[in-house]
Amino acid sequence: MPVFLTTDVLLYLLLAAVAAFVFYARRKKYLRDPWVRVFRRRSGMIAMVLLSAYVAVGVLDSVHFRPVAGYGPQGQAHYAPQVISVLDWIATPLRKHTEKTYSAPFATRLFVKETVPGPNGKERRIYPRLKWAGAGLAHPRKQELGNVLYLGSVGAVEGLAATALLTLLLAWRLARRREQRWRAMLARILRARTDIPWRAGLLTAAAVLVFVFMCANLSPHYHLLGTDKVGQDVFFEAVKSIRTGLLIGTLTTLVMLPFALLLGVMAGYLRGWVDDAIQYLYTTLSSIPGVLLIAAAVLMLQVYMENHPGLFATTAARADLRLLFLCIILGITSWTSLCRLLRGEALKLREADYVVAAVGLGVSRLRVMTRHLLPNMMHIVLIQVVLDFSGLVLAEAVLTYVGVGVDPTMNSWGNMINGARLELARDPVVWWPLLAAFLFMSVLVLAANVFADAVRDAFDPRLRSGTV
């Protein structure tokens, strides 16, 4: 039975909007050209491939349903109470393979000693074998390395095969569009003789695919990044956190964009008391330090949720609503800068010849704003949105640490880092949850930053030269 969480629906809407834009922009040269410039840069291409991998995981994790738990006497299905996503379903072994408590990456034994009854009736304190990791091995110490290498290399071969398939597919498509022979096209791609750096993109895709297939092969049999305090697979947690990070980075923008656009254009174009009122609004909001405003709002939300427990059907819905609210409040604190930029641009554009001409021809003010001003400001919006993304992903971790971030039950890098603080104080140190959060988060933020640079350079005519 499908379940639609609020954030899921918003994410679908966003994806639909992006898809519609791509479809629309494909045939318009002036819209397509800057994007082609983004992809002509090798760094932009690589970042895009990495981001697509993240988005794919995030989308898989955003299709929720309640699995069938069993069938009644008349054959009607009973649904399980908990909501899972397609990603959960794909990664069922990871989700179900929970150990007792901490275990190190690739370990076959628990991280802490336990008292177990020995063969001769005496109690012994040993590191017990893990329930799932390396379960099929009789002598893990001798066999583990061979087994890991075998499974890993099978994954690598599968990943390379998938890349080869992808390459052929790409060569065939490009060849058909340009009416060339696909072999010639393939040779050009492999020698990097194409306008768009396909080879760099394919190499990145190869790295991603090899990683994915290796993980897919290894993770049912070992805990790649260990297990956490309650024995859950840390690798799985880090993967699940991708959705939270992506949602915070994108939904915040989606929420704030209408306000920033509407108010910014109105302030800049209409001037007068409208301008004064809007300027007053954003100056007031931006003069409250962001963290404090977010903290105050989230605290108040907590009070509200505590006092109205009946509003939320499940814990998932509750966590989801909290995430959405966090996006809204982050949006409220961050729309002001975009609004200010748009107002400045509208002030400039209202004197432009084409706007003056439109006004002279008797075009209504609403139409001037929507048809003449808005489309000519979109590059500013795009640059700002892409630049904000990485900052928002980082902000999630900090806010969660402060205690005003996402719900503690939700998988997020912030929650993982938060827990890691106590784990580092243990002796011996439990370092893998921190490492997992660090790896997954840094790659996403790095890719987003590089992509943002490529987008800014491609779209901002003022900056086109000069910066690297």
Partner 1 sequence: MLAYIVRRIAYAVPILVGVNLITFALFFVVNSPADIARLQLGVKRVTPQMIHNWEQQHGYDKPLIYNGKAHGLETVTDTIFFNKSLKVFAFQFGQSDQGRDISNDIVHRMGPSLALAIPTFIVGIGLNITFALLLVFFRASYLDASGVIACVILMSISPLFYIIAGQFMVGKLMNLVPISGYHYGWEAAKFLILPVIIGIVSGIGSGTRWYRTIFLEEFGKDYVRTARAKGLSEMKVLFRHVLGNGLVPILTGAVVILPLLFMGSLIMESFFGIPGLGAYTIDAINNQDFAIVRAMVFLGSVLYIVGLLLTDICYTLVDPRIRLD
Residues forming contacts to partner 1 in the complex (CB under 8 A) are 280, 283-285, 287-289, 291-293, 295-297, 299-300, 302-304, 306-307, 390, 394, 397-398, 401-404, 413, 417, 420-421, 424, 429, 434, 438, 441-442, 445-446, 449-450, 453, 466-468
CB of 288 to partner 1, least distance (A): 5
The continuous run of DSSP H or E covering 19 comes out as helix 6-25
Q: State which residue, 2 or 310, has the beta carbon closest to partner 1.
A: 310
Nearest Cα neighbor of 319 from 409, 205, 240 is 409
Q: How far is the CB of 398 from partner 1 (least distance, A)?
A: 6
Q: Which of 356, 363, 389 is nearest to 253 (CA)?
A: 389
In whole angstroms, how close is the CB of 42 to partner 1 at the nearest point?
A: 13
Residue whose CB is less far from partner 1, 217 or 418: 418
Burial of 189 (0-12, 13-18, 19+ CB in 10 A): buried
For residues 136 and 309, which CB has a smaller minimum distance to partner 1 in the complex? 309
Nearest 5°: phi and psi at 223?
A: -95, 105
Nearer to partner 1, 189 or 294 (CB): 294
Tell me the sheet residues that pair with 125. 115
Considering beta carbons, is residue 213 or 440 the nearer one to partner 1? Answer: 440
| Residue 87 or 420 having the CB closest to partner 1 | 420
Lookup: tokens for 152: 């890993």
CB of 260 closer than 8 Å to CB of 374:
no
* Closer residue to partner 1 in complex, CB, 183/421: 421
| Cα distances (angstroms) measured from residue 187 to each of 167, 181, 195 | 11, 10, 14
Residue closer to partner 1 (CB basis): 138 or 468: 468
**Shortest gap between Cβ of 321 and partner 1 (angstroms)?**
15
CB of 402 to partner 1, least distance (A): 6
Cβ-contact 417, 401 below 8 angstroms:
yes
Cα 464 to chain center, whole Å? 28
119: exposed, middle or buried (Cβ count in 10 Å: 0-12, 13-18, 19+): exposed
Least CB distance to partner 1 at residue 444 (A): 9
Residue 309 Cβ, how far from partner 1 at the closest point, in Å?
8
In 3D, which of 92, 87, 98, 61 has the Cα closest to residue 223? 98
End-to-end CA distance of the chain: 50
Shortest CB 9 distance to partner 1, Å: 25
